[in-house]
Amino acid sequence: MLFPYYRPRRLRQNKEFRRMIRETALSTDDLIAPLFTISGKNVKNPIESMPGHYQLSVENLVQEAKKIYNLGIPAIVLFGIPEKKDPLGTQAYAKKGVVQKGINAIKSKVPGIIVITDVCLCQYTDHGHCGFVEGNTINNDATLDLLAKAALSHAEAGADMVAPSDMMDGRVLEIREALDENGFTNLPIMSYSAKYCSAFYGPFRHAADSAPKFGDRRTYQMDPANSLEAIREAAMDVEEGADIIMIKPALSYLDIISRLRDEIDLPLAAYNVSGEYAMVKAAAEKGWIDGKKVMMEMLVSIKRAGADMILTYFAMEAAMELKKG
């Protein structure tokens, strides 16, 4: 097809033509909104590095979940900031833990919304790592039982889905077995299958108070230089019982999203992370970019790469833009 016989601009000349041939469609159905919950009453702590987001006590958490659901967004993912931390992260699996209370409150007041819970220990441990620490080493196998206990406690509190984000080997199988043995065979697992050791998590670690107190997470999160490893990680999670696999972060790993879309025949999620959000907000505040247009372009790029669903701090703003048509 050569010019002048083929002229691509013929189908770009008005918005109706552009709508008709558009290859990628973004909708509110694709969005999952992250929320942070904290102990206390009437708490709404602004997260400085993530404008528009807050640490919310349970009554404010419920109100935010209502707003999200009323915008047509089907799901939230819930993160907790406990009152107390300890070496074993016991508040992660406490029956009356902050996340467990949040799940119960949301499901009683906003029953239609899907509540997905982050399953990890980093917010709950006094050392800030995602597992059981021995010396300066994270003990993979000793961590698995703690993660399974956390996932089970979320299920018992009423969660609709659990999402292990720790990157310990074998945790999906351990969680699947714990859920099945306790009558939760129908509760799905969204696994953070390819979670890279990324500098884009900075604002989240501030929001969740989860920065490691020593070292970093390179011994368990993935090397940003690797792509074949992502296929192995995802395949292992599928074999262990994952129902949805996730890539995190999204924007610097669009190639991984695309590659896993070709390799794995399961629903695929991508996490548009806090650093990606913060950069857009900061540049928009400076007047250097049109923040809303950049937001929508970013989300479309993630969908175009192959993601079926997007966890994003832009969820509510994007939903409002989509309602405008």
Give, rounded to a whole angstrom, the gap between the first and last alpha carbons of the chain.
33
How far is Cα 237 from Cα 235, in angstroms, rounded to an integer?
5
- With tokens 């070292």, the residue in question is 215
Peptide bond into 46 cis (omega under 30): no
- Torsion on CA atoms 14, 17, 22, 26, rounded to nearest 10: 60
286 part of the active site: no
Q: Residue 14: how many CB atoms within 10 A of its CB?
A: 9
Candidate list 85, 101, 195, 281, residue with the active-site label: 195
For residue 30, what are its two tokens?
A: 């694709």
Torsion of CA 113, 66, 300, 161, to 10 degrees: -30
**Crossing angle of helices 254-263 and 291-305, rounded to 10°:** 30
Respond yes or no: is residue 195 known to be catalytic.
yes
What gap in Å lies between CA 35 and CA 37, rounded to an integer? 7
- The single-letter code of the amino acid at 114 is I
Which of the following is catalytic: 85, 107, 149, 248?
248
* CA nearest to 266, candidates 251, 250, 290, 245: 245
Report the relative pairing of strands 54-56 and 44-46 from DSSP bridges.
Answer: antiparallel
- Rounded CA-CA distance 266/30 in Å is 15
Residues 6+ apart with CB under 8 A from 140: 131, 168, 169, 170, 220
Distance of alpha carbon 325 from alpha carbon 323, whole angstroms? 5
Q: Which residues are catalytic?
A: 195, 248
